[in-house]
């Protein structure tokens, strides 16, 4: 398997939207895993990559018709190799979570893994598809919370709601979407922004969180509003890509909300990198 084929399978640019999940959860819970917290974004990235590869494995027959250029239908990667890669990434992700957060992280990583595999192999095309994908994002946030789900409830909810909107809209990437679906995505984005902008504690300034939340709502909302006006396949693909990249400023807003504006600013710097990388490797 060539590195370029592997990069396409894991949607390499989209991986930059993942580490902020566990960082937002850890910040909201006051960094319960201390110095080992760095291993949790690694774990969630590995599990995300596993889900992306598994997605292409499960969709290989559909992609042969709709996206024949993808690595598996084009013959560049065999289904067996893809399944082996997904399995290896899954095992590595669970191991990293166990090392970084101990048994508490493992109690979240295992359900997260189950949701990912269930979504890709069984639930993606059904009515529960967006719910499963959104649940995976929420659990990813809680992976960083060190067994304190209540402390990380708001960031988990914000990313869950936004992910549900992006996932529902992404179903129209090939044949277009309905205005109602695009409207739902816009509403989900605005809800996520409102949650991120709300002060976590009265004594913590909310200016930075509000600024990052506004950046998120503006960039993602503009693309989704275009899909609302004209929900053809091309516009929906653009809005889906914007929604995926928009995870980064939303995570930054949540970090700032927890009192870490400097880390939030550093995280936002990944946004231009993801945008530039998306020109070489599709994030969707």
Residue 129 pLDDT class (50, 70, 90 cuts): confident
Average pLDDT over residues 196-200: 85
pLDDT at 175: 87
Residue 205 pLDDT class (50, 70, 90 cuts): low
pLDDT at 198: 87
Range with the poorest average pLDDT among 122-136, 172-186, 252-266? 122-136
pLDDT at 28: 94
pLDDT at 199: 79
Q: Which residue has the tokens 């949540």?
A: 254
- Euclidean distance between CA atoms 25 and 77, whole angstroms: 35
- What is the DSSP code (8-state) at residue 121? I
Average pLDDT over residues 182-206: 85
Global confidence as pTM: 0.91
Contacts of 205 (CB under 8 A, 6+ apart): none
Higher pLDDT, 47 or 278: 47
pLDDT at 234: 93
Length of the chain: 284
Residue 207 pLDDT class (50, 70, 90 cuts): confident
Percent of the residues in the chain that have a pLDDT greater than 90, as a whole number:
77
- Euclidean distance between CA atoms 246 and 204, whole angstroms: 24
Contacts of 190 (CB under 8 A, 6+ apart): 217, 221
- Euclidean distance between CA atoms 215 and 273, whole angstroms: 16
Residue 238 reports pLDDT greater than 90 = yes
Residue 224 reports pLDDT greater than 90 = yes
pLDDT digits (tens, 9 = 90+) for 240-277: 999 999 999 999 999 999 999 999 999 998 878 777 76
Average pLDDT over residues 64-81: 92
Which domains can be identified in the chain, with CATH numbers? 3-277 (1.10.357.140)
Residue 204 pLDDT class (50, 70, 90 cuts): low
Residue 280 pLDDT class (50, 70, 90 cuts): low
């Amino acid at each position: 398997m060539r590195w370029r084929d592997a990069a396409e399978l894991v949607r390499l640019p989209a991986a930059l939207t993942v580490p902020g999940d566990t960082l937002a959860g850890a910040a909201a819970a006051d960094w319960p895993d201390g110095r080992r917290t760095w291993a949790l974004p690694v774990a969630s990235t590995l599990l995300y990559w596993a889900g992306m590869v598994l997605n292409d494995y499960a969709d290989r027959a559909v992609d042969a018709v709709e996206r024949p250029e993808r690595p598996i239908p084009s013959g560049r990667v065999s289904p067996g190799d893809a399944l082996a890669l997904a399995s290896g990434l899954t095992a590595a992700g669970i191991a990293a979570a166990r090392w970084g957060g101990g048994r508490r992280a493992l109690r979240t990583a295992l359900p997260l893994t189950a949701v990912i595999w269930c979504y890709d192999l069984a639930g993606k095309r059904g009515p529960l598809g967006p719910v499963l994908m959104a649940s995976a994002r929420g659990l990813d946030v809680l992976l960083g919370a060190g067994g304190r789900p209540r402390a990380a409830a708001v960031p988990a909810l914000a990313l869950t709601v936004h992910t549900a909107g992006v996932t529902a809209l992404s179903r129209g990437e090939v044949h277009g979407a309905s205005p109602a679906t695009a409207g739902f995505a816009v509403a989900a984005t605005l809800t996520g922004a409102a949650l991120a902008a709300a002060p976590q504690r009265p004594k913590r300034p909310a200016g930075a969180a509000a600024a990052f939340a506004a950046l998120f709502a503006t960039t993602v909302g503009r693309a989704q509003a275009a899909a609302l006006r004209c929900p053809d396949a091309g516009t929906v693909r653009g809005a889906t890509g914007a929604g995926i990249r928009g995870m980064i400023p939303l995570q930054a807003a949540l970090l700032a909300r927890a009192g870490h504006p400097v880390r939030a600013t550093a995280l936002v710097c990944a946004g231009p990198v993801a945008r530039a990388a998306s020109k070489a490797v599709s994030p969707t």
